[in-house]
């Protein structure tokens, strides 16, 4: 339906609503169209108005809301979550909209394509505001997710903004470098470090392509470290549980006293083995937790800034219990995993060193006062950092440790003479800086891993990605998905409040397609074959 015909239909409906008694001639004269056109519109309105709510869709407010409903269904369910147009068609028809808007799968597929084109236009329209300020510091994380072809994903870890998300067969350094040129060539970026697994192409991308420090990903490193020992303990627990169940059933079923005593002794031995295994599992979890707790800019106990050597010694100490356990659980695989983790320790701690350099350089640019710098780095920043860690983690024991550290840091902050001498506005300014700086410490590429999981589900639902689909999903991630504070990734990175993506799409979409009755839905007239009765 063209906009002109649609507007005429709205005017006819409005004229009927205002004065139901006026005839076709009066309506035609008032609107300025022929009587036959008025008659056709009246008939169409009568065909559509089959339900109590139908008349509201003919009003201006109802028509606008109907457009929002259909566009929103395709945007949120069809594009963001991979629901097919067939299911969307059934959903809209179940809402009794089939007479008011085109709800066939083909009509919705055309609208879906139109929405994707509108999303691409949104990114182009916001391009002027997606520019870094001179010297803007970032930290990035990169990884690949494998489908039919690997998808190369590179994200700014603090904001979550996706710089690169493209499907590409080759995963070499040259390919990665070519993919980042469209944003890295822009003047202003300063990448301080890049977190990744130890893929050679990604290490070279950091050191040569971005000119920054390559940091070993703690997420991948801990998984590789714990898998041999953890799996071995889990298998033994399952074996003991199965044996206990079998022997218990045999004990309960036997009537011979000698056999019962024998089974009781075997059950006692298994129970002792279970206790020992439980203690070993607790040691394993404590050692793994110690690695996580020690790899922070500040010491959990003293709140003092940690140096390269401090963390290296602490992590080496945390590995000692794992070496002991590895002799019993995991064997050679466990020993190799521990050796591999130990080799990555310098690359993990190097990221912390790069963060401290970033913090001191940024702070020096904010104030020349040495007293203020020492107060921010030694008193304010630890408090803000541990508060953020408390909010981030969902593990109960870790949350309790971080909260305790935050409380101790708060006491030290309040006791500092400079804290109370500052004005409230000045303190708030430094708190905001500390929040930003604490967010910049990233030791894993878990944000990229989470993105990979999201893409995996959509890839399965849609049976693959087209280049346009992947680009549209990237735009939605950067400009639409929000954290609990209500900000998008693009807003956090560029410090600009972009227009709401969905509202922009609704405003820039054309009219909804005209509802048409499918030939398959029409009642077929009876037919007769020769020799069969009518």
pLDDT computed for residue 525 by the predictor: 45
How confident is the model over 211-240, as pLDDT tens digits?
A: 999 999 998 899 999 999 999 999 999 999
- Tally helices (H) and strands (E) across the chain: 22, 5
Cα distance between residue 171 and residue 213, in whole Å: 20
How confident is the model over 5-44, as pLDDT tens digits?
A: 556 556 656 665 655 545 676 666 666 677 676 666 666 6
- CA 144 to chain centroid, in Å, comes to 16
| Residue ranges of domains in the chain, CATH in brackets | 3-127+512-519 (no CATH), 128-217+445-498 (3.30.420.10)
pLDDT computed for residue 18 by the predictor: 57
At residue 240, what are phi and psi to the nearest 5 degrees? Answer: -65, -40
The rounded percent of the chain whose pLDDT value lies above 70 is: 87
How confident is the model over 491-533, as pLDDT tens digits?
A: 999 999 999 999 999 999 988 888 875 444 444 444 444 544 4
Res 375 pLDDT > 90: yes
How confident is the model over 459-495, as pLDDT tens digits?
A: 777 667 888 999 999 999 999 999 989 999 999 999 9
- Going by C-alpha positions, the residue among 219, 180, 488, 489 that lies closest to residue 351 is 219
Count of residues making up the chain: 534
Cα distance between residue 490 and residue 481, in whole Å: 10
286 pLDDT tier (thresholds 50, 70, 90): very high
The mean pLDDT of the chain is 87
How confident is the model over 166-225, as pLDDT tens digits?
A: 888 888 999 999 988 888 877 689 999 999 988 999 999 999 999 999 999 998 899 999
How confident is the model over 312-343, as pLDDT tens digits?
A: 898 889 899 999 999 999 889 999 999 999 99
The predicted model scores a pTM of 0.84
Cα distance between residue 443 and residue 114, in whole Å: 40
- Going by C-alpha positions, the residue among 514, 458, 400 that lies closest to residue 78 is 458
pLDDT computed for residue 44 by the predictor: 66
pLDDT computed for residue 464 by the predictor: 73
pLDDT computed for residue 101 by the predictor: 87
CB 355 within 8 A of CB 440: yes
Res 297 pLDDT > 50: yes
pLDDT computed for residue 2 by the predictor: 45
How confident is the model over 62-100, as pLDDT tens digits?
A: 889 999 999 999 999 999 998 999 999 999 999 999 888
CB 290 within 8 A of CB 318: yes
Count of beta carbons in the 10 Å neighbourhood of residue 283: 14
Which residues in 306-445 belong to E strands, given as ranges? none
How confident is the model over 402-452, as pLDDT tens digits?
A: 999 999 999 999 999 999 899 999 999 999 999 999 999 999 988 887 888
Count of beta carbons in the 10 Å neighbourhood of residue 214: 21
Summarize the confidence of residues 261-285 as an average pLDDT.
91
């Amino acid at each position: 339906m063209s906009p002109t015909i649609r507007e005429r239909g709205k005017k006819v409906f409005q004229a009927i609503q205002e004065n139901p008694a006026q005839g076709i001639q009066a309506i035609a004269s008032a609107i300025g169209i022929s009587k036959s056109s008025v008659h056709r519109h009246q008939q169409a309105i009568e065909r559509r108005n089959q339900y109590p709510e139908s008349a509201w869709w003919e009003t201006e407010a109802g028509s606008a809301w109907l457009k929002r409903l259909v566009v929103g269904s395709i945007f949120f369910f069809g594009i963001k979550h991979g629901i097919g147009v067939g299911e969307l068609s059934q959903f809209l028809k179940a809402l009794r909209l089939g007479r008011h808007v085109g709800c066939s799968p083909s009509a919705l597929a055309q609208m879906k394509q139109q929405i994707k084109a509108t999303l691409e236009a949104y990114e182009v329209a916001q391009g002027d505001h997606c520019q870094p300020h001179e010297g803007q510091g970032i930290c990035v994380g990169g990884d690949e997710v494998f489908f039919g072809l690997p998808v190369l994903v590179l994200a700014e870890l603090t904001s979550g903004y996706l710089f690169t998300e493209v499907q590409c067969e080759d995963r070499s350094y040259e390919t990665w470098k070519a993919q980042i040129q469209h944003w890295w060539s822009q003047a202003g970026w300063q990448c301080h470090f890049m977190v990744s697994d130890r893929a050679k192409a990604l290490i070279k991308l950091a050191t040569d392509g971005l000119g920054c420090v390559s940091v070993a990903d703690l997420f991948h490193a801990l998984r590789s470290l714990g898998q041999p020992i953890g799996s071995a303990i889990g298998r033994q627990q399952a074996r003991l549980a199965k044996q206990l169940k079998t022997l218990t059933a045999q004990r309960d079923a036997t009537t011979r006293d000698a056999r019962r005593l024998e089974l009781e002794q075997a059950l006692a031995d298994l129970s002792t083995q279970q206790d020992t295994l439980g203690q070993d599992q607790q040691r394993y979890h404590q050692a793994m937790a110690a690695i996580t707790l020690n790899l922070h800019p500040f010491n959990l106990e003293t709140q003092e800034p940690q140096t390269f050597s401090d963390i290296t010694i602490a992590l080496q100490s945390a590995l000692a219990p794992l070496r002991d356990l590895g002799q019993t659980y995991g064997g050679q695989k466990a020993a190799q995993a521990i050796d591999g983790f130990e080799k990555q320790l310098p690359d993990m701690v190097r990221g912390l060193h790069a963060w401290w350099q970033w913090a001191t350089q940024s702070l020096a640019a904010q104030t020349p006062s040495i007293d203020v710098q020492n107060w921010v780095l030694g008193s304010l920043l630890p408090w803000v950092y541990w508060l953020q860690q408390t909010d981030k983690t969902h593990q109960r024991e870790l949350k309790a440790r971080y909260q305790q550290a935050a409380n101790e840091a708060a006491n030290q902050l309040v006791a500092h003479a400079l804290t109370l001498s500052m004005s409230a506005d000045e303190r708030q300014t430094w708190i905001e800086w500390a929040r930003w700086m604490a967010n910049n410490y990233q030791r894993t590429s878990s944000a990229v891993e989470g993105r990979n999981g999201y893409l995996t589900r959509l890839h399965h639902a849609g049976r693959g990605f087209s280049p346009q689909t992947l680009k549209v999903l990237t735009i939605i991630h950067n400009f639409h998905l929000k954290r609990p504070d209500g900000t998008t990734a693009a807003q956090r990175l560029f410090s600009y409040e972009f227009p709401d993506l969905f509202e922009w799409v609704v405003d820039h979409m054309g009219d909804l397609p005209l509802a048409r009755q499918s030939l398959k839905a029409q009642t077929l007239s009876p037919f007769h074959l020769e020799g069969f009765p009518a």
